[in-house]
Amino acid sequence: MSATTQAATGPRILVIGTGDTKADELLFMKQCIEASGGSAVMMDVSVLGDPPYQPDHDKHAVAAGVEMTIAGIVASGDENTAMTLMAGGAVQLVRKLHQAGEIDAFIAIGGSMGTDLALDVALCLPLGVPKFVVSTIAYSHLIPPERVASDLMMILWAGGLHGLNSICKLVLSQACGAVVGAAKMAELSRASAPAIGPTIGMTSLGSSCLSYMKTLKPALEQRGYDVAVFHTTGMGGRAFESIAGQGHFAAVFDFSLQEITNHLAGSVVSSGADRLENAGARGTPQIAAPGAIDMVDLPTWQDLPAKFAHRPFHAHNRLIGSVTVDADDRRQVARTIAAKLGGAKARAAFILPAGGIQQWDLEGEPLYEPEALDAFSDEMRKAIPASVEFHEIGAHINTADFVRKALEIFDRWVEEGIVPRGMPAKGKAA
């Protein structure tokens, strides 16, 4: 929608839910959206019943998205198979509505079934389209990180199991106001955004554990690039992978890979099984390094799992702490990284900083284990495929030597045309 059109009609908010069981809630949301200056586009994803209102997009249109009838979906099996099919139909229909410029944002309500469907819809919409899910399982570990869109907003549907009440109305009204406001501001931001250079995606773990971005980011900005740094504490890595998979990055500096170790160790601080895969699958050039792969991140408010009880431990704060993995585990991580980089469809490079890979592995720090680091380095040298540029430096990852090596590779790729040139500053040549 153009800024002029949106100013005239208000942002069009797609409202998704099962109208046969949640009609009161959905119609209340419609009122809230209109009171906030938006317009509601109603989509019904009911299976068995019909809503007591006429939706803009009914369940038959949703079923047609997977080339089925509602009768066929009902006969497909149980409630799980039926809602999975409806999710597929909703994705196809929502994608068409967005491509046709008929919606500006979406909001959905649901329990676990409705949330399951809503997560698929959120993932089908590109970055920047406001996405809001009102869910009885918001922020739950039932939701795996790979199901969460990079810019998804959620709110717990407190008091929302069955019918309207004062608590439920408070939640729904906030959610509707938030999605309308987000749609208005997203359009304003797009209309007034200045021209920027190609975007570089970079990963780090805070700024105390890994600190290379403090000098690397401004150096890339001076070269005319827009640099987005992602905090790899599970969802940060998930957002990085999601955006990389959508092709938003001209290149990536993926230097904080401890989420791979987390996933292999079964930690809840995971970004999913496809960490370090989406940039390469999309054909985006990537430079990788093993920042913090020696650690597993765990909640500090829980007891350590028995297998880590006697490992070196560092409590970062009251939410998250880290234990080190042993030499055998580090060798497995090395093989996993090598295999992921080997599958890339674009240029890939790996920098091995043999002098250390995070702040707390220095001598005198709580996670100093030089023999285990040597085991990782040894395995990395053997496992890295010939298709990946391999660069080893004797320095620590948090040093100027590491930054120089990363920029050396990047600048060469720019000269070779592998990475597009940055936007020149006004009055300067590219």
Judge whether residue 123 has pLDDT over 90: yes
**Whether residue 266 is found in the same domain as residue 296:** yes
CATH of the domain at 180: 3.40.50.12020
The domain boundary residue, chosen from 173, 192, 211: 192
**Whether residue 26 is found in the same domain as residue 124:** yes
User: What pLDDT sits at residue 73?
Assistant: 96
Residue 423, in any domain of the structure: no
Residues written for the chain: 430
| Confidence grade of residue 112 (pLDDT, cut at 50, 70, 90) | very high
Q: How far is CA 275 from CA 123, 236, 254, in A?
A: 17, 11, 10
Specify the higher pLDDT residue, 308 or 58.
58
Specify the higher pLDDT residue, 45 or 79.
45
Q: What percent of the chain has pLDDT over 70?
A: 96
User: What pLDDT sits at residue 429?
Assistant: 45
The domain boundary residue, chosen from 159, 192, 225: 192
User: Starting at the edge strand that comes first in sequence, how are the strands of the sheet with 12-17 ordered?
Assistant: 39-44, 12-17, 105-110, 131-135, 152-156
**Whether residue 392 is found in the same domain as residue 265:** yes
- How many domains, the chain? 2
**Whether residue 170 is found in the same domain as residue 206:** no
Query: What's the average model confidence in pLDDT over 399-403?
Result: 98
Specify the higher pLDDT residue, 426 or 86.
86
User: What pLDDT sits at residue 426?
Assistant: 58
Query: What's the average model confidence in pLDDT over 89-100?
Result: 98
User: What pLDDT sits at residue 393?
Assistant: 98
CATH of the domain at 293: 3.40.50.12030
| Confidence grade of residue 425 (pLDDT, cut at 50, 70, 90) | low
User: What pLDDT sits at residue 430?
Assistant: 44
The domain boundary residue, chosen from 192, 217, 238: 192
φ and ψ at 225, to 5 degrees?
-115, 150
Q: What percent of the chain has pLDDT over 90?
A: 78
User: What pLDDT sits at residue 85?
Assistant: 97
Residue 161, in any domain of the structure: yes
pLDDT tens digit sequence for 409-418: 999 999 999 9
What is the chain's mean pLDDT, rounded? Answer: 93
Judge whether residue 186 has pLDDT over 60: yes
**Whether residue 123 is found in the same domain as residue 234:** no
User: What pLDDT sits at residue 13?
Assistant: 98
**Whether residue 174 is found in the same domain as residue 210:** no
User: What pLDDT sits at residue 107?
Assistant: 98
**Whether residue 107 is found in the same domain as residue 215:** no
**Whether residue 43 is found in the same domain as residue 125:** yes
If we measure between CA atoms, which residue out of 332, 198, 323, 189 comes closest to residue 267?
323
Residue 427, in any domain of the structure: no
Residue 424, in any domain of the structure: no
CB-CB neighbours of 57 under 10 Å: 20
Residue 412, in any domain of the structure: yes
**Whether residue 176 is found in the same domain as residue 29:** yes
State the residue range of the domain holding 210: 199-416
Judge whether residue 374 has pLDDT over 90: yes
Residue 249, in any domain of the structure: yes
**Whether residue 104 is found in the same domain as residue 222:** no
pLDDT tens digit sequence for 305-356: 888 888 988 888 888 889 999 999 999 999 999 999 999 999 999 999 999 9
Segments of 271-421 assigned E as strands? 286-291, 295-299, 313-315, 320-324, 348-353, 389-393
Query: What's the average model confidence in pLDDT over 247-274?
Result: 94
**Whether residue 35 is found in the same domain as residue 120:** yes
Residue 276, in any domain of the structure: yes
**Whether residue 221 is found in the same domain as residue 296:** yes
Segments of 21-111 assigned E as strands? 39-44, 105-110
| Confidence grade of residue 427 (pLDDT, cut at 50, 70, 90) | very low
Query: What's the average model confidence in pLDDT over 80-109?
Result: 97
Residue 405, in any domain of the structure: yes
